[in-house]
């Protein structure tokens, strides 16, 4: 067998082992960080909601600079692991949301962060799903920069894709 071919095969094998070690190391580090950043209490929460892979139309009213209310619409997409829910979405006003929360029975509570324009735009949503999980109604709270206080608005989510 040619020596250069053996060297290439050996180098390839060493590179493959190195890549596998990096992947295993990254997996263990991610698992360690995940265990530190989550509460085991949420593992036991029962939920009837199946939100993984769903997309929802979102509608709420927001107070604008002109002190008048206007309707905001958007979309949210959820992923779910047990009672934990994460997701992302966007509104017609340009907000891009990152979502993290928890589902309990037919209720969903999540925090959202506008990650695109104002990383300081943080709020919460608490909704309850109907028995067919086609619509969720509840309340959205956010810090109003216009009025310098917390504002609260009704919010409606309608399933558009399962």
Phi, psi angle pair for 94, to nearest 5°: 100, 0
3-state SS class at 17? helix
Give 25's contacts (C-beta < 8 A, 6+ positions apart): none
* Position 79 pLDDT exceeds 70: yes
pLDDT higher for 34 or 12?
Answer: 12
| Cα–Cα distance for residue pair 157/49, rounded to 1 Å | 14
Q: What is the pLDDT of residue 24?
A: 79
- Gyration radius of the chain's alpha carbons: 22
pLDDT 10s digits, 122-137? 889 999 999 999 999 9
In this prediction, residue 152 carries a pLDDT of 87
Query: In angstroms, what CA-CA distances link 117 with 24, 49, 78, 122?
Result: 36, 31, 21, 12
Average pLDDT of the segment spanning 79-83: 93
């Amino acid at each position: 067998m040619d020596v250069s071919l053996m060297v290439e095969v050996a180098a390839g094998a060493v590179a493959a082992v190195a890549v596998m070690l990096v992947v295993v190391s990254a997996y263990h580090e991610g698992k360690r960080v995940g265990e530190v950043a989550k509460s085991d209490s949420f593992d036991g929460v029962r939920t009837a909601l199946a939100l993984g892979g769903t997309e929802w139309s979102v509608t709420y009213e927001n107070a604008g600079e002109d002190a008048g209310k206007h309707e905001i619409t958007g979309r949210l997409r959820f992923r779910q692991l047990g009672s934990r829910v994460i997701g992302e979405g966007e509104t017609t006003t340009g907000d891009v949301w990152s979502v993290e929360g928890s589902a309990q029975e037919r209720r969903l509570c999540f925090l959202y962060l506008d990650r695109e324009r104002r990383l300081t735009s943080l709020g919460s949503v608490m909704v309850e799903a109907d028995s067919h999980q086609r619509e969720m109604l509840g309340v959205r709270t956010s810090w109003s920069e216009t009025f310098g206080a917390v504002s609260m608005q009704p919010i409606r989510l309608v399933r558009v894709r399962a």
